[in-house]
Structure 1
């Protein structure tokens, strides 16, 4: 019998590519991961990995097993969700991940609605960059998470994670009429590796230039304070633009940020996840564009 816990490690290896990366994601030692994968090979009765020095690659059998692992793990998640539904009213811990502007602007009302509708649930919130959400969901560190995607930054497809749209926002440029007009300005961008950073870089590239980055700041309130202090220009979403400080002008652009709620692909019917999604939908900001208006493709922001 194949052990689902070992199948998860094999799935992570197919995604991450190295034993060390799997160990870090799973909070194991590399030696423990290697031992578990060796045990999985014995259970499968065939070679799943090709080891050459420090590199590891999946064999054809390993790739076949990974495809089945996606289906097996999803069915186990569905089974857990079905059992939880039998218990009636959802209760217990509910681990929620969110990016900073959502934590501030969305979650307080959503948590109040969740407490009103389902007092047995105990929400536990952690701030996390959307780029790290899929791994945290697959590892069971989160149950549900708010993520975002931008024009110029297509979503990352992950078989272990399902995401449903909540709303979309207009993006604003500070103190300039267009991105092209800001080509000689210093820029304030998010930390490299984040979706916000990638979006800003690609928006500038689409306008024909590479931005001169002077500051890396992730909190949009701080970004606007830097803009007000004359430290540069920036792109900010409407959630962060409700009350800009003096000295900050905001120009709407034909760019959008879309917020989605994500969870493990087999947990769509889990009572706690359904409760969280319902609370988020009930309290999403009135100023946001309705998803029924249709999501926009990448636009010319020059």
Structure 2
């Protein structure tokens, strides 16, 4: 009989491409991952990996096992979900991963509602960059998490995760009061952008280049509260999603662009009807539906991405 944990490692290798990435996702050493995959090959009786120098790729047998392995893992998740549905009342841990803006705005009301309706749940929130959520879900460090991408830089769906939409937000150009109002007018401005390698930085570069220029980066900050404080201090301009603009500091103008940020609720395939996951989806959707647009004060009429 195949070892499910080893099967999960092989599926993760197909998704992450390298043994080093699989090791990092599971907090193992690369040597330990290699040993487990070698043991899986012995269980199967066929070579699953082709090694070329330091790189590995799946053999035909490996690809077949991954295809069926994803179905097996989803079926196990469905089994856990079905058993959980038989319990009387919701209890036990519910591990939630969310990005900082959502933790500040949507999670408090969600947690209060969950605790009131399901006092047996042990709610645990971890603040994570969305890029770290899939690995945490795969490794069962999270039960549910929030992912996002942007319409101008879409992210490829993970075949081992199911998602449902939560938010579709406007992205704003944040300017110091009195600054130029359109995106193209910021050609010579100083910019506040996210850290290198992040999706937020990639989006800023994409949007600016589409407007005909490369932004001149002065500051780097990943927290949108910090970004808006720097904008208010006249330190530059930036792009911020709607969820971060509920209470902009005095002296910040917000110009809506055509760019959209899309947030989805993610969980492992087969977990959609798990009572705790379904309860979380219900409550965070309720919290997001009551989330209003920021006040009109300090907000200019739409200019679009021109």
TM, length-normalised to structure 1: 0.93
* Residue 260 of structure 1: how far off its partner (Å): 1.3
Q: SS of the residue aligned with 1:142?
A: coil
* Residue 39 of structure 1: how far off its partner (Å): 1.0
Work out the CA distance in 2 between the residues paired with 1:24 and 1:147. 20
Q: Does 1:223 align with 2:231?
A: no
Q: Which residue of 1 aligns with 2:188?
A: 184
* Residue 47 of structure 1: how far off its partner (Å): 0.6
* Residue 194 of structure 1: how far off its partner (Å): 2.1
Instruction: Single out whichever of 37-46 and 148-157 deviates more from structure 2.
Output: 148-157
Q: SS of the residue aligned with 1:284?
A: helix
Q: Which residue of 2 aligns with 1:152?
A: 152
* Residue 217 of structure 1: how far off its partner (Å): 0.6
Q: How does 1:201-220 map to 2 (within 5 A)?
A: 201-220=205-224
Identify the match of residue 258 of structure 2 among 251, 254, 258.
254
Q: How does 1:57-96 map to 2 (within 5 A)?
A: 57-96=57-96
- What per-residue deviation string (whole Å, max 9, x for no partner) do you get for residues 101-140 of structure 1? 1000110000001011111111111111111111111111
Q: Which residue of 1 aligns with 2:28?
A: 28
Q: Which residue of 2 aligns with 1:270?
A: 274
Q: Which residue of 2 aligns with 1:293?
A: none
Q: Which residue of 2 aligns with 1:104?
A: 104
Q: Does 1:45 align with 2:45?
A: yes
Q: How does 1:277-288 map to 2 (within 5 A)?
A: 277-287=281-291
* Residue 287 of structure 1: how far off its partner (Å): 4.5
Q: SS of the residue aligned with 1:9?
A: helix
Q: How does 1:106-121 map to 2 (within 5 A)?
A: 106-121=106-121
Q: Which residue of 1 aligns with 2:166?
A: 166
Q: Which residue of 2 aligns with 1:7?
A: 7
Work out the CA distance in 2 between the residues paired with 1:117 and 1:155. 34
Q: Which runs of 5+ in 2 are unaligned?
A: 294-303
Q: Please say if residues 172 and 235 of structure 1, whose CA atoms lie closer than 8 Å, have aligned partners that are also in contact.
A: yes
TM, length-normalised to structure 2: 0.92
* Residue 204 of structure 1: how far off its partner (Å): 0.7
Work out the CA distance in 2 between the residues paired with 1:16 and 1:284. 32
Q: SS of the residue aligned with 1:273?
A: helix
Q: Please say if residues 167 and 288 of structure 1, whose CA atoms lie closer than 8 Å, have aligned partners that are also in contact.
A: no
Q: Please say if residues 94 and 123 of structure 1, whose CA atoms lie closer than 8 Å, have aligned partners that are also in contact.
A: yes
